[in-house]
């Protein structure tokens, strides 16, 4: 597993190699957006002893929405471990939404525009 390296704010979580490979296999703009959403929302992830859990999200940085689920382990007193990332369909995303298991971010359109401008 890779330990997260940060220069600014220190967030404590670990990232499995499998998860990193999944992010790297995405188009760069999409991978950056998905990773940013997960990073910003890691504090929302619920704790559950000895079980993996999943949370869903959606990225709209490409022409069509990209729905995804993030699998993780988070136990009380321990940093979360990000295990896997998978594309899901809109019906699965809505199931997560109805179960209140989606990434909730503030309106980051301005920041997304800055990211798009800087990545071109």
pLDDT digits (tens, 9 = 90+) for 39-63: 999 988 888 888 999 999 999 999 9
Q: Which residue has the tokens 């809109």?
A: 90
* Residue 108 · residue 90 · CB < 8 Å: no
Find out whether 65 and 84 touch, Cβ atoms under 8 Å: no
- pLDDT of 19 > 50? The answer is yes
Domain count of the chain?
1
Closest CA to 82 of 91, 74, 94: 74
CATH of the domain at 17: 3.30.2310
What is the extent of the structural domain holding 64? 2-119
Backbone φ and ψ for 60, nearest 5 degrees, come out as -120, 25
At 5, the pLDDT band (50, 70, 90 cuts) reads low
The whole-angstrom separation of Cα 69 and Cα 101 is 10
In this model, does residue 14 exceed pLDDT 50? Answer: yes
The two tokens of residue 56 are 């869903």
25-35 residue pLDDT tens: 999 999 999 99
CA-CA-CA-CA dihedral for 95, 103, 90, 88, to nearest 10: -100
pLDDT at 83: 96
């Amino acid at each position: 597993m890779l330990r997260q390296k940060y220069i600014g704010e220190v967030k404590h979580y670990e990232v499995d190699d499998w998860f990193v490979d999944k992010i790297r296999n995405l188009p760069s703009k999409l991978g950056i957006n998905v990773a940013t959403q997960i990073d910003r929302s890691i504090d929302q992830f619920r704790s559950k002893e000895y079980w993996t859990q999943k949370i869903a999200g959606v990225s709209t940085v490409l022409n069509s929405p990209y729905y995804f689920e993030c699998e993780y382990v988070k136990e009380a007193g321990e940093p979360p471990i990000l295990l896997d990332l998978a594309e899901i369909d809109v019906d699965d995303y809505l199931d997560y939404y109805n179960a209140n298991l989606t990434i909730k971010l503030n309106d980051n359109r301005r920041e997304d525009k800055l990211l798009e401008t800087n990545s071109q």
